[in-house]
Amino acid sequence: MTESAFIHRYEPATSAGSPPLLLLHGTGGDENDLLGLGKMISPGSALLSPRGRVLEHGMPRFFRRLAEGVFDEEDVRRRALELGDFVTEARKQYGIAAPVAVGFSNGANIAAALLLLKPDALAGAILLRAMVPLSDPPKAELGGKPILLLSGQADPIVPASNSAKLAALLSQAGARVEHKVLPSGHQLSQADVTLARNWIGNVDAKAA
């Protein structure tokens, strides 16, 4: 790994058939945050979990924001490409296939940006409470990549119109998007885990 690589955790696969997961935490999380979630969603998958390299009041994030819901888009682009380079390096180092991103909040937003800026980095994504990451996204070609977008009906941070716009944006880029709005807020619920586990099982079966 190069000097610029992310602090991260890697747990090797225990089951040959499960896709590797790229775990991307929310604001204030770290590389340990989503390991339990990854194991619940896809037992047996290799887990690659980096820590965001931007600090906001001491809390790790994957990119800077100017205010809640207002992103520093230049930073989003730069950080997404850095993350894509890290994934490429990690794939070589650990001998894994392109991962499915599992991102929560800020982590889901960087995953969405990565899909739009460097589509080859990911095999698909589970986006938990994601927003549109770029107001003027590049024309991406997502060629049928599977994406599960789970939003909260009472989410105080992500307006329903924004998550619907993200679903449309990814669909227009050629992804196979499944968007579900759950009766919850910004925090994750058991329903998120159950839906994500069922979804990844189906994606896995189709790929096999």
User: Active-site positions?
Assistant: 105, 155, 186
Nearest to 114 by CA among 161, 63, 164, 162: 63
Beta bridge partners of 152: 182
- The pair of three-digit structure tokens given for residue 124, joined into one six-digit string: 């698909």
Phi/psi-derived region of residue 125, left when phi > 0, alpha when psi is between -120 and 50, beta in every other case: beta
Beta bridge partners of 24: 103
How far from chain centre, in Å, is Cα 36? 15
Largest Cα–Cα separation, the chain: 44
With 0-12 / 13-18 / 19 or more C-beta atoms within 10 angstroms meaning exposed / middle / buried, residue 85 is middle
- The pair of three-digit structure tokens given for residue 83, joined into one six-digit string: 């993350």
d(CA 129, CA 157): 9
Helical H segments across 118-189, by residue range: 160-172
SS3 content of the chain, % helix, strand, coil (to 5): 35, 25, 40
